[in-house]
Structure 1
């Protein structure tokens, strides 16, 4: 069965190119040119991923994302943003977007990020429905099905990318993972931006887990190599 992708993009030429390229890769693609129609389709249809533009008529992409996340925490959403919309990218990730792609984009980058998001979603679903619904380390509990994280009974909000990073580290506990490992398995493409992106996300995770204020950090740095979560 083909994986279904919803493209919500008001620029008809961009939507057409995305549809053609994604269909060529074997996906079933539905397009919407307004935020209102995109939201309706997202909530009513059975899609495995959404490509969502932020600048949309009738209902902007941020509001569409907010409403989607109220109903569905697991559906992968990749934002399409303009190059100078840094704050919107940050706000979108905080609202629950899995990733973003900056316009103008290369189609190979789009396809790589789509594959990555679908792969991570399928992996989490498999883990949640098969032999493992939860992961834990010390007093941290991760529910793979609901994507909820708790430490000592207190809920911790993680962005989708922070959650995926923590799960990847936990699935490889007691093994050192390099930055290249993390880029490939969590981001899923050849990252060409700031080289310290992994360190930034690790720092965010540690702060949210309160590792910065603990003598025994859950996520440990192996200098010059990468990171590891060791089971006590």
Structure 2
């Protein structure tokens, strides 16, 4: 499945109060690898940004005046996102803005276009409970270089989040495997095999495995009386 790491910048904090999207950045992953097939839009929000928002993203109202409105890029964006898993840090925030923009032009919410929405912030909180899990904090913790991030920018943040997501889900910190026992007496060093040059295959589940998986999810859902997290999120 294609994965799209997505980020937005906005005029403020509340779509329901009239704030709008001013920038959208998308980075594509296929087989957990960056493809370079990215999307980036600056948008005319038809209103000014709040002062506090300007301090975060640094995108002036004047700069956005000649940019397209959301309606002009909606089809291109939705075609790009179609059928993909969308990965967003603090997904409820960005999804609320995307849904509001779609509502204003008479379109269905974003979940009708994509296969799945994954919140990387929730993933990080489960992996690092009690710690700071902002994008900057995760970059520091997972050794992702964010030295070029002086202000928030949708495409830059999406690129950083793609690296963070890969590190969050890789399951190990290194492709170096020890050979032999590290407890051997008299051994000055332990030989290693470097697997970084190997092309690791991506194995997809077959139809029977997918059917068995879905049956298991249904059984778990029944036993929890419909309170499983995935059913609640899909609803």
Fold conserved between structures, TM > 0.5 = no
Choose between structure 1 and 2: higher strand proportion. Answer: 1
TM-score (norm 1): 0.32
State which structure, 1 or 2, has the greater radius of gyration over its C-alpha atoms.
2
